[in-house]
Structure 1
Amino acid sequence: MQHIKQGYRGLGVLVNVNADLLLYVTTLVIAFACAGFVAAL
């Protein structure tokens, strides 16, 4: 039971780190898309 709980906690940390990275990448993509749109005007 303890091993499962530790594994679940590790998975939670991994998901939190990936969510942060995903948010960062998504923000960059949106910024580049907006810059491209403004440049096309």
Structure 2
Amino acid sequence: MQAIQSGYRGLSLLVNINWDMLFTLGTIVVGLLAGAFLGQALTAY
């Protein structure tokens, strides 16, 4: 149980440190998906 708590605290620390990087990466992925969807929708007609 102590190992699980220690691992969770370590993972939580990494997420807190890299939160802005994860948000940026997610924003880029969503933008690329939206661009692909719009490109496909516009070229279908």
**TM-score, normalising length from structure 1?**
0.66
Paired residues in the alignment total 35
Mind listing any 5+ residue stretches in structure 1 that lack a counterpart?
1-6
Identical-residue share of aligned pairs (%): 12
Q: Runs (4+) of structure 1 moved beyond 6 Å?
A: none
**TM-score, normalising length from structure 2?**
0.61
Aligned to 2:31: 27
Mind listing any 5+ residue stretches in structure 2 that lack a counterpart?
1-11
Q: What is the alpha-carbon root mean square deviation over aligned residues?
A: 1.9
